[in-house]
A and B are shown apart, each in its own frame.
Chain A
Amino acid sequence: MTVTTALPTFDEAIAAFEPVMGMEVHVELGTATKMFCGCSTTFGAEPNSQVCPVCLGLPGSLPVVNRVAVESAIRIGLALNCSIAEWCRFARKNYFYPDMPKNFQVSQYDEPIAFDGWMDVTVDAETYRIGIERAHMEEDTGKSLHVGGATGRIHGASHSLLDYNRSGIPLIEIVTKPIEVPPAVAPAVARAYVTELRELIRALGVSEARMELGQLRCDANVSLRKAGDPYGTRTETKNVNSLRSVERAVTFEIRRQAAVLSDGGRIVQETRHWHEDTGETTSGRTKEEAEDYRYFPEPDLVPVAPSREWVDELRGTLPEPPAARRARLQAEWGFTDLEMRDVVNAGAVSLVSATVEAGAPAGGAKKWWLGEIARVANERGVALEDAGIAPADVARVEELIAAGALNDKLARQVVEGVLAGEGGPDVVVSARGLQLVNDDAALGTAVDEAIAAQPDVADKIRGGNLGAVGALIGAVMKATRGQADAKRARELILERLQP
């Protein structure tokens, strides 16, 4: 671990240096089968149960390209305003690693399928255009489990166990051009870029882009320079796998590099690892020798030469760009900029949208997704969409409120029940007996009892002090364990005391 006591603050760091960033994002495609073989990509299967000679790299096996993976790559490229190559090849990236069965990764090198595009991101109402260098196709590696060391870390492990189910799952690697924005917003822009990219990938329907499942993985390159100087030496921080971490890791690297440079030191070009717990990066592979991947055209695959007709056809399938969609939805929902930003940051645009489409008012939908559901998801460390409640459930709860069958308090209990896996809203309502008590007979009894129990309060009301009604309503609520319809209770009290 590095000693970090002497780090300058972020403000001190950017007073002396300008950061330049580069983001490399790997997106695991949601295709049914792998990049080069027919093995299923279903997540969570038994280890090594979704493998074949091809993705195990067995001698004699040969790859065949998944058409849908190419389509997805082209659609991502188009959505990022890239040019689509008229002719490009796969290449082999040669290096030895046990999670890579052939000891080369089939990737693309100097001929990516998509190149030279851009994407706009907005931070504090300011829009920044991020240049896209390239988007290319490649295959994922297997997964290693390190045994015998502390907490599954590679360091100190006695041996490792390999599962190749992930081996060969299609990846699209998206690389930005150098990002040069006002230093103060650099970390936020990095985060906004990944957020926006995730939104775009989801809108395209090519991947669920769930960072916590590794479906979207981010490497952040950071370098510093004095204003006007050429680019400085960069570090590459690997596997920054949440939106918040993107911002934190970039901030940390800016501060760390500023400390090194201010001390007269030099930045080493290296891979660094991000530690979520400490909020620091540490030096990764110490390379005795420079990497030499010995790229060359993959002889087992023929070139990809997408016809312009195919590209145009795919262009026709592009969804509304996320920024335009957000602007439209914000107008439809009547949200302020601030409200909309909260929804976007929570990654809840599509969930709120689906809830509204299922009949709920926008405000109600937002309240649930960013409130109770976000709280529970956060507690459990899962994504909003995995909290265990569907947009239709949320809409049903709102419907029950509107119909007067639930009040806010009961509604929260219903949502809680759904999140706890007790069933849909109607099931929870009947199982927990959460119907609002609003029939006059049952309510009337409670009201009469409340009046009898607090004659002095009743007198005040009779004397015209309506502010005292609340005390009687409170008693009624208590007597009905919160299930009384407060509005009807108030009417009944007033009927009796102010005829």
Chain B
Amino acid sequence: MPSISREEVAHLARLARLDLAPDELDHLAGQLDQILGAVAQVTEVAADDIPPTSHALPLTNVYRDDEPRPCLPAESVLAAAPAAEDGRFRVPQILGEEA
């Protein structure tokens, strides 16, 4: 079934926030095509009346009581942050949400 184009691979890379070099893109496109060709076998199984399984075991209704628990100590929250300022995580400018 598949024959994945280089443009499609580039689109996926953007969706997945992966900055890929052109040769990496080419190499990956070939491998993805090959892998997708192999896994497309799953479509051979006629399974119209078969329910999908999303969880390994059929557990349901697992809940927690609405009781506060201790949060992380302040000093450990930002300890691993690449950058922090005023008790907050500092990140590069965010573009695009608002005009």
Q: In the complex, what distance in Å separates the CA atom of A159 from the CA atom of B88?
A: 12
- Whether the Cβ atoms of A64 and B63 lie closer than 8 Å is yes
Q: Mark B56-82, 1 if CB is under 8 A from A, else 0.
A: 000111111111111110100110000
- Whether the Cβ atoms of A161 and B60 lie closer than 8 Å is no
- Whether the Cβ atoms of B55 and A299 lie closer than 8 Å is yes
In the complex, which residues of chain B have a beta carbon less than 8 angstroms from the beta carbon of A153?
98
Interface flag for B23 (CB, 8 Å)? no
- Which residues from 92 to 124 on chain A have a C-beta closer than 8 Å to any C-beta of chain B? 96-98
| CB contact between B97 and one of A64, A96, A285, A305 (< 8 Å): that residue | A285
Q: In the complex, what distance in Å separates the CA atom of A53 from the CA atom of B55?
A: 23
- Whether the Cβ atoms of A67 and B63 lie closer than 8 Å is yes
Q: In the complex, what distance in Å separates the CA atom of A285 from the CA atom of B65?
A: 39
In the complex, which residues of chain B have a beta carbon less than 8 angstroms from the beta carbon of A50?
71
- Whether the Cβ atoms of B71 and A51 lie closer than 8 Å is yes
Interface flag for A260 (CB, 8 Å)? no
- Whether the Cβ atoms of A49 and B71 lie closer than 8 Å is yes
Interface flag for A437 (CB, 8 Å)? no
- Whether the Cβ atoms of A161 and B66 lie closer than 8 Å is no
Interface centre among B11, B77, B99 (most CB of A within 10 A): B99
- Which residues from 116 to 167 on chain A have a C-beta closer than 8 Å to any C-beta of chain B? 144-148, 153-155, 157-164
Q: Mark B3-16, 1 if CB is under 8 A from A, else 0.
A: 00000000100110
Task: With A33-B67, A289-B14 as known contacts, state yes or no: A145 contacts B88, CB within 8 Å.
Answer: yes
Interface flag for B41 (CB, 8 Å)? no
- Whether the Cβ atoms of A284 and B99 lie closer than 8 Å is yes
Interface size on A, residues (CB 8 A): 63
- Which residues from 246 to 267 on chain A have a C-beta closer than 8 Å to any C-beta of chain B? none
- Whether the Cβ atoms of A304 and B60 lie closer than 8 Å is yes
- Whether the Cβ atoms of A48 and B99 lie closer than 8 Å is no
Q: Looking at the assembled complex, report how far the CB atom of A447 sits from the nearest CB atom of chain B, in whole angstroms.
A: 64
What does DSSP make chain B's interface, helix, strand, loop or mixed? loop
In the complex, which residues of chain A have a beta carbon less than 8 angstroms from the beta carbon of B43?
none
In the complex, which residues of chain A have a beta carbon less than 8 angstroms from the beta carbon of B89?
48, 161-162, 164
- Whether the Cβ atoms of A48 and B64 lie closer than 8 Å is no
In the complex, the chain A residue whose C-beta lies closest to that of B74 is A49
- Whether the Cβ atoms of B71 and A162 lie closer than 8 Å is no
Task: With A161-B85, A305-B61 as known contacts, state yes or no: A52 contacts B69, CB within 8 Å.
Answer: yes
- Whether the Cβ atoms of A48 and B88 lie closer than 8 Å is yes
Interface centre among A53, A98, A157, A159 (most CB of B within 10 A): A159
Interface flag for A302 (CB, 8 Å)? yes
Q: In the complex, what distance in Å separates the CA atom of A299 from the CA atom of B97?
A: 29
Interface flag for A81 (CB, 8 Å)? no
In the complex, the chain B residue whose C-beta lies closest to that of A143 is B88
Interface centre among B11, B66, B98 (most CB of A within 10 A): B66
Task: With A64-B62, A302-B59 as known contacts, state yes or no: A160 contacts B93, CB within 8 Å.
Answer: yes
In the complex, which residues of chain A have a beta carbon less than 8 angstroms from the beta carbon of B90?
159-162
Q: Looking at the assembled complex, report how far the CB atom of A121 sits from the nearest CB atom of chain B, in whole angstroms.
A: 31
In the complex, the chain A residue whose C-beta lies closest to that of B95 is A154
| CB contact between A87 and one of B17, B60, B85 (< 8 Å): that residue | B60
Q: Looking at the assembled complex, report how far the CB atom of B72 sits from the nearest CB atom of chain A, in whole angstroms.
A: 5
Q: Looking at the assembled complex, report how far the CB atom of B78 sits from the nearest CB atom of chain A, in whole angstroms.
A: 7
- Whether the Cβ atoms of B96 and A51 lie closer than 8 Å is no
In the complex, the chain A residue whose C-beta lies closest to that of B60 is A305
- Whether the Cβ atoms of A67 and B64 lie closer than 8 Å is yes
Q: Mark B34-63, 1 if CB is under 8 A from A, else 0.
A: 000000000000000000001100011111
Interface flag for B91 (CB, 8 Å)? yes
- Whether the Cβ atoms of B68 and A38 lie closer than 8 Å is yes
Q: In the complex, what distance in Å separates the CA atom of A37 from the CA atom of B54?
A: 23
Interface flag for A273 (CB, 8 Å)? yes
Interface flag for B19 (CB, 8 Å)? no
Q: List 20 A-B contacts (CB under 8 A).
A: A33-B67, A38-B67, A38-B69, A48-B88, A51-B71, A52-B69, A56-B77, A65-B62, A70-B63, A144-B94, A148-B93, A154-B95, A155-B98, A155-B99, A162-B89, A273-B98, A284-B99, A289-B15, A301-B62, A304-B60
Starting from the known contacts A38-B67, A161-B85, A303-B59, 9 additional A-B residue pairs (CB-CB under 8 Å) come to A65-B63, A145-B88, A154-B93, A157-B93, A159-B91, A162-B91, A282-B99, A285-B97, A297-B55
Binding site for B on A (CB under 8 A): 1, 31-33, 37-40, 46-53, 56, 64-70, 87, 89, 96-98, 144-148, 153-155, 157-164, 273, 282-286, 289, 292, 294, 296-297, 299, 301-306
Q: Which 7 A-B pairs have the closest CB atoms?
A: A38-B69, A161-B88, A67-B63, A68-B66, A297-B54, A162-B89, A305-B60
